[in-house]
Amino acid sequence: MDEQHWIFGYGSLIYKVDFPYLDREVALLRGWSRRFWQGSHDHRGTPESPGRVVTLIRDPDALCRGVAYLVDESVFAHLDHREKNGYERHRTRLLLEHREETVTGTFYIAAENNPAFLGEGSDRELAQHIAKSHGPSGSNAEYLLSLAAALRDLGEHDEHIVALERELIQLQES
């Protein structure tokens, strides 16, 4: 049998699926936490004023819930272009939650040593940055709110995302 190609989405790949796929499963990735620490010069910001998007940070005790897509190998060309701003492909083991099956999959992360990495800040600082950022793919606030809604739909409570969403909504209401 040919090798299967699973892609793990933990950010916009959860809710903005612009590629064909053969199957979709809620999946878990061990040892990584989702963080709004990556700069976006090409989607949710500009080179002069980058937005913030999620990447994964090593966290041995963490369990990151997202979505895995079974895809044809040809989809990687599209995803490599979409995830070009500092992201690299990595292979890992994923647990397909409803199947209770472990598969090998690919995920994209933007490591701390890439030029677009912005790093951490307080929830308030990150939300303020997100609130003012816009790029060719839309507002950075829309990205955060869409991700928060998509995670709720998965039954996922990601404290980092929930805290940023709360801060952003407070900023928008003031």
pLDDT at 110: 96
Q: Which of the 8 DSSP states describes residue 117?
A: B
Q: At 54, phi and psi to the nearest 5? A: -85, 150
Q: What CATH number is attached to the domain comprising 138?
A: 3.10.490.10
Q: Tens digits of per-residue pLDDT, 63-78?
A: 999 999 999 999 999 9
Active site residues: 83
pLDDT at 1: 41
- For 173, the token pair is 């209401």
Q: Which of the 8 DSSP states describes residue 2?
A: P
Number of separate domains in the chain: 1
The span from the CA of 161 to the CA of 174, in Å, is: 20
pLDDT at 24: 97
Q: What is the pTM of this model?
A: 0.94
pLDDT at 2: 58
For 33, the domain range is 5-173
- For 135, the token pair is 């790029």
Beta 138-139 vs 101-109: how paired, if at all? Answer: unpaired
Q: Nearest CA to 129 among 39, 8, 10, 29? A: 39
Run means of pLDDT, 10 residues per run, the chain, 174 residues:
85 96 97 97 94 97 97 96 92 95 97 95 98 96 98 96 98 92
* Contacts with 156 (C-beta within 8 Å, 6 or more apart), sequence order: 65
* Contacts with 52 (C-beta within 8 Å, 6 or more apart), sequence order: 36, 37, 38, 39, 40, 44, 45, 118, 126, 129, 130, 133, 140
